[in-house]
Structure 1
Amino acid sequence: MPGRAGLQERRGRARELPRLSGAGPRNVGMADPARSAPRNRRHVRPAAIERARLRLEPGGALERAPRLDESAFSLYQGDRLADVALKSIGRQLARLFWHEAGARLGVNPEHVHDMRVATRRLRTALRVFAAAIPRETRQEWRQELRWIGRALGSVRDCDVELDRVRRMAADAPEPERAALFVFTSLLEIKRARKRVTLLERLDSPRFSRFRRHAQPWIELRRVTPDTRAARAPAYIAGPRVVAVWDRRMLEACDEAKRKTTAENVHALRIAIKGARYAVEYFVELEGPGARRRAKHLGRLQNMLGARQDAAVLLRHMRRYARTIPSRDGELSLGARIAIRKISRAARVRKSEWREVLELGSGAERA
């Protein structure tokens, strides 16, 4: 029989379990932390560890946090181009700062991804809505978004590579697995350094100043230029703006078709991304057809993006292979096997390339 002191201690710890979304001790579904804690670490409070784990694990409190309310940024048929610009930029700025806390914590890599996507959409918006945004604002924000976007991109690239390498290592034979494990350790060290840079930038006065300047846009209080282009009805200006980005995508598609190089394929992916974002800015006004087209463009962008990510990983893997000592033949063999697999994953398949070229033909007919 347990002593009275031990029983009271366990009851006290049980009372500390958080009531997350109505969850009690009966449906938490976790082992008793008091029993699993090592005897020589009695000073550690198991309930505190349990509370943190419940919040951080997939499906925990952080994952069940309320979603960002974007209803204030909804478009209406009577909106002008300036109104669409204000709401589109306000929406992306709100998303950027909404995911900042998760990116700082570093548990779920999707928060860094969402912040990076927001910076990319904002940089495209500065070009799409150039007629409705003051020139000084565009020039200043272009620099700030590039500055924070590079830090986010460096961490995100490491997350993407780590995810792919870990999945490869799970099913790899022993020589390849050993090489991938060493490479994973190098990536984790690199990611830790990149996260330090990211956190330093998020803590900097420069980022705080950017947040202050963004607040009026998020609150939809920013006054846009009163020009003829800015006053144009969005349902008229929108198709014209999208047509400009369609032509750019078509030109990139023709160039990639004429000469299929890594640089041209990368430029085509960027052009598809720009066309997709331009469509999405006006999708609430254009209807289901525009929404389907945006999804199609997004799928092609993701496909080319996956090939680009594999190409970057291939370059890093080859650089790592060159550092393996010549006397370590087994590790070198494992690295060569991994390089061959990644090289195949980096190639754009004929069926995928044909779909991209058909997209260009469709844009030309439109």
Structure 2
Amino acid sequence: MVRSTNSAVRQDAAPAVSERQQSRVAKRAAAAKPAVKSEPIELPQDIDSSTAFQLIAASIFRQVGANEGAVRSANPQGVHQMRIGLRRMRAAISVFAQLVDDPETTRLKQELRWLTGRLGPARDLHLLALRLRRARGAAPERQKRLQVVETMRNEALATAIAALATDRYRKLQTDVWAWIEAGDWLGGAARRQVPRRARDFADAVLAKRARKIARRARELEALDVEGRHQLRIAAKKLYYAMGFFESLYDGRKSRERMADYQRKVKELLDHLGALNDLAVQQQLTGSLTPVVRQSDGLAVIAPSRHERTKTERLLKSAGRAGRELADAKSFWD
């Protein structure tokens, strides 16, 4: 299934947001600070697995912190980039799970998930507002729906901004940096059955994740919505992992094969992401129905023929991309 966006919107937007707060969000957006994308990760060839994780995690969390200003200024792209940073951090924890597994890591994963949940509705509603703006025609119903969506988006942005002002967020910042630099997981790293050399660790992790994805990707068109969602999560973690370890593969042949493999994973993710965006936006449109009916008496709008055709086309494209990925040559040893 797709993300539980409806419940997230209701939960985060439940407290009433005053007109004054919405006006404040609009003013911030007018002078929004720029969003910050991820930085390249460069790992020395002889680096050990523990130090590699520390460098990777530090790079990722810098992206999270660097987007605070953009989020506080109500920049939807800042929300998007901070979410990407949080997802990359959770992916890094998953990729290095064998190394960093301990109670503190588990607690921090929950806190990272909490913050991601506070940012999610603002991003999803922003995409829905863009979709409604780009839709053909200017029917009164569409304009009214757009007004409702933009109001909800501003409420969700206010919720995201408020989350960054909490003691919980400040503690998360402090705790994550302490965990990266001197967490308890470091004391148990030597006792765990983890390859000491980061390149050996990367080979094993990438090979294992790629095998699991290949089996599902080959039969993608037979998967249900939940199956496609789980495949997308697994493929995204693999894509992030390749970015984490990319600098370790310095041979010409390895780099060429990695670039080809990354391209195939990215193509699959693009198709699966487009399918997920359609499903999320349809969920959100459905969740707006009671709100719109209360004020405007508008009826439910079922997915259009264009949306159904687009979904079918994306499924075929995703299936083709999945088969190409399953047949791709590996770049790891």
What TM-score results when the alignment is normalised by the length of structure 1? 0.70
Question: Which of 99, 109, 126 is 2:93 aligned to?
Answer: 126
The one-character-per-residue Cα deviations of 1:100-121 (angstroms, maximum 9, x if unpaired) are: 1101111x32111111011111
**Structure 1's 263 and 217: CA in aligned 2 closer, same or farther, altered over 3 A?**
same
Is contact 1:242-1:278 (8 Å) kept?
yes
Q: What pairs with 1:204-219 in structure 2 (closer than 5 Å)?
A: 204-216=166-178
The one-character-per-residue Cα deviations of 1:296-322 (angstroms, maximum 9, x if unpaired) are: 312321221111111221233345567
The aligned residue for residue 270 of structure 1 is: 233
The CA distance in 2 between the partners of 1:148 and 1:324, in whole Å, is 29
> Is residue 2:202 matched to residue 1:238?
yes
**Structure 1's 231 and 252: CA in aligned 2 closer, same or farther, altered over 3 A?**
closer
Question: Which of 129, 146, 149 is 2:116 aligned to?
Answer: 149
Query: What is the count of residue pairs matched by the alignment?
Result: 295
Once the two structures are TM-superposed, the CA of residue 332 in structure 1 deviates from its matched residue by 5.5
The CA distance in 1 between the partners of 2:286 and 2:42, in whole Å, is 47
The aligned residue for residue 325 of structure 2 is: 359
Q: Secondary structure at the match of 2:47?
A: coil
> Is residue 2:137 matched to residue 1:173?
yes
Is contact 2:214-2:326 (8 Å) kept?
yes
Q: Secondary structure at the match of 2:233?
A: helix
For structure 1, which segment, 310-319 or 125-134, has the greater mean C-alpha deviation from structure 2 after superposition? 310-319
Q: Secondary structure at the match of 2:199?
A: helix
Once the two structures are TM-superposed, the CA of residue 294 in structure 1 deviates from its matched residue by 2.4
Once the two structures are TM-superposed, the CA of residue 180 in structure 1 deviates from its matched residue by 2.1
The aligned residue for residue 302 of structure 1 is: 270
The CA distance in 1 between the partners of 2:246 and 2:82, in whole Å, is 22
**Structure 1's 117 and 80: CA in aligned 2 closer, same or farther, altered over 3 A?**
same
Q: Percentage identity across aligned positions? A: 24
Q: Secondary structure at the match of 1:75?
A: coil
**Amino acid across the alignment from 1:141:** L
The one-character-per-residue Cα deviations of 1:11-69 (angstroms, maximum 9, x if unpaired) are: xxxxxxxxxxxxxxxxxxxxxxxxxxxxxxxxxxxxxxxxx99x938xxxx44x9x789
Stretches of structure 1 that go unaligned for 5 or more consecutive residues are 1-51
The aligned residue for residue 42 of structure 1 is: none
Q: Secondary structure at the match of 1:142?
A: helix
Once the two structures are TM-superposed, the CA of residue 291 in structure 1 deviates from its matched residue by 3.9
For structure 1, which segment, 220-229 or 197-206, has the greater mean C-alpha deviation from structure 2 after superposition? 220-229
Is contact 2:124-2:281 (8 Å) kept?
no
The CA distance in 1 between the partners of 2:158 and 2:37, in whole Å, is 27
The aligned residue for residue 24 of structure 1 is: none
> Is residue 2:245 matched to residue 1:279?
no
Q: Secondary structure at the match of 2:304?
A: helix
Is contact 1:276-1:294 (8 Å) kept?
yes
Once the two structures are TM-superposed, the CA of residue 192 in structure 1 deviates from its matched residue by 2.1
Q: Which has the larger radius of gyration?
A: 1
Q: Secondary structure at the match of 2:328?
A: helix
Query: Which structure carries more relative contact order (alpha carbon 8 Å, separation 6+)?
Result: 2
